Chains A and B, each alone.
Chain A
Amino acid sequence: METEEPSGRRPTPEEARAALQAAQSAQTDAAAALRPPWWYFASLAALVAVSPLATQLPSTVAGITAFIVFMLLWLTAFGMTLRLFISRAGLVPRFSREQTRRVWLCMIAVGALGTAAAVLKLGFDQNWAMIAFAEILAVAILVIGLFGGRRASA
């Protein structure tokens, strides 16, 4: 290992194949290390599940102050969850163009549903909409996260 400098000659097909396999193995190991643990999805789901509490606060000075404090705490907890995962994994994920496209599609879909729920609450006083949206999203994060992880490791 210490003296592994290449000789400068080109590898044989067998050596090249072994090198490709070693590279593939390193990438597979990295992908496995990047798989988020159960607590990551549980934390995200919990954060999403409690988020409707912010919409239940009264429109008073105290209520608005509480809303701001709640949002600051929520964003801090969200950031800490992401940071803890990256810190423990020791790796920062890199998304391919296709993965980035999927993330954007997912965010657009969630944003559209969230907007619809907000319109139902604000325009039609349907308070249940925001709560239902958040709870369904929380369950989806948990199920997709845990199921996706299991499928990837299978």
Chain B
Amino acid sequence: MTTTGEPADGFDTTIHAPNRLRICALLDAVESAEFGTVQQQLDVSASVLSKHISVLMDAGYVAQNKAVRDTRQRVWLHLTETGRTAYQAHVAALRAIVGDPGD
């Protein structure tokens, strides 16, 4: 039974929290995403998103870049290689639970 981190079958409780799964799914589909866009796509408050991003950053799954544009600071988020691998392994584990072998 797994509770944290990356167990052998790829199921990852850090990623499995609903909003974190959606954050990882969104970031897996792109190179990087702006914080405000992720917030809009997930329809969550900035504080909730910040909290989840912090958890993912602490796990080494997400990294951020800050860029100033038109005197406004924008934060761009992206999955690290570790994060992408962990997310894909987690999705594979979910598919295995469902009984869908996937692609």
Chain B's interface size range is 35 or more
CB < 8 Å A-B pair total:
100
Chain B positions within 8 Å of A, measured between CB atoms, are 1-4, 11, 13, 16-19, 21-26, 28-34, 36-38, 40-42, 44, 48, 69, 76, 91, 94-95, 97-100
- Chain A residues with CB below 8 A from B100, complex form: 20
Expressed in whole angstroms, the Cα–Cα distance for A27 and B17 within the complex equals 17
Contact B33 A13 (CB under 8 A): no
B60 to chain A, nearest CB (A): 18
- Chain A residues with CB below 8 A from B38, complex form: 90
Contact B25 A90 (CB under 8 A): no
Contact B3 A27 (CB under 8 A): no
Among A11, A31, A33, A87, which residue has its beta carbon within 8 angstroms of that of B97? Answer: A11
Could you name 18 residue pairs across A and B whose Cβ atoms are closer than 8 Å?
A4-B18, A8-B1, A8-B4, A9-B1, A10-B11, A10-B97, A11-B16, A19-B94, A20-B91, A20-B94, A20-B100, A22-B22, A23-B24, A26-B23, A26-B41, A27-B28, A92-B76, A94-B30
Expressed in whole angstroms, the Cα–Cα distance for A4 and B33 within the complex equals 23
Expressed in whole angstroms, the Cα–Cα distance for A1 and B48 within the complex equals 8
